[in-house]
Chain A
Amino acid sequence: MKAQNTIKLTIQSLPENIPLARVTVAAFVAQVDVTVDQLEDIKVAVSEAISNAIIHGYEHRPDEWVEIEVSRSGHTFQIVVRDYGKGIADVEAALQPGYSTDSERMGLGFVFMQSFMDEVKVTSEVGKGTTVVLVKHLGSDQDAPS
C-alpha cells in the first residue's frame, strides 16, 4: 500500500495511554468521510491490539514501548501495532476465540479485530515481539495514489 499520509505514535506500555492512542487513530481516519460505527469499529480494534501488547507482549511491564503507525491510501487505512515483547508461540491458536487463559478476560481481542476490520495480519517471533496489521477500507479508492 502506497501511503499518501502516515503518522507514527510510540507510547509507553501503560493502560493510561490506550485511550489517547485510539482517539488519535480515530482522528486520523476522520480525514475521510466515515460513519460513527466505522470509527468505533477501528477504535475497538486498535484498543484490542494495544491491550494485547501491554498484557501479553510485555506482561504489564510499564517501561516498554508500543509503536503504532497509521497510513492512509485513498479510503484505505492501515494500522500497524508493534511490540518487542515475548511474542506468540502459536499465532494460529492465539487467533481463536477463548485463547486467553485469564478467566476475567474473554479471549476475544483477535475476534474483535477480525470482526471490525477488513484484514488482520499477525506476525510474531518468540522473544522478539508481535506485529499486528489492521486494514480498513472505507469506501471508494478511486482517488488513491497509484
Chain B
Amino acid sequence: MLLETQKVDNSLIVKIKGELDLLTAETFRNLVERAITAEKAQHLILDLEHVDFIDSSGLGVILGRYRRIREQGGNMAIVGVKPHVKRVLELAGILGIVKVYHQTEQALQEVN
C-alpha cells in the first residue's frame, strides 16, 4: 500500500494505492492520523481510485478517521472509488454518512 498526502487549504487529501486489509490497516491508520495532526487539517478527502481491495479491517480505519474528523468539526469525503470497493462501502453503511465524488476538486468544494 502506498499513501500520498497533500494539503489544500484546510483539507488533507490522501491518495491510497493498493489493498486495505488487516495487513495494511495499522499503517494506513497511523499515517493518516499523523498527517491530519501534522497538517492541522480540518477536513479529510480519501482518494480510493487506486484501491483494489477493501475488507472490514480497512473499513474500520476509514470509519475511525471519519469519527475523528467529525469530532473536530470537519467533513470527510471519498473520491474515485472502484465498483466492487463501492459495494463493500455501501454494505457497511459508509455511503450513508460519507459522500463519494468523481473529482477531487468537487470533493474539496463540498467539504468546505
Contact = CB atoms under 8 A, between A and B. Distances in A.
Determine chain A's interface SS by DSSP, over half rule: helix
B63 A51 contact: no
Interface in B14-44: 19, 21-23, 29
Contacts of A105: 56-57, 60
Contact of B61 (A19, A44, A104, A107): A104
B21 A115 contact: no
Nearest to A54: B22
B87 interface: yes
Contacts of A40: 53, 84, 87
A109 B92 CA distance: 10
Nearest to B94: A106
A65 interface: no
B55 A47 contact: yes
A82 interface: no
Nearest to B19: A19
A37 B88 CA distance: 11
Contacts of A48: 55-56
Interface string B55-73: 1110111011000000000
Contacts of A133: none
B97 interface: no
6 contacts: A37-B83, A40-B53, A47-B55, A51-B21, A108-B92, A112-B55
Interface of B: 19, 21-23, 29, 53-57, 59-61, 63-64, 83-84, 87-88, 91-92
* A-B pairs with lowest CB-CB distance, top 8: A40-B84, A15-B23, A108-B56, A15-B22, A47-B55, A51-B22, A105-B60, A104-B60
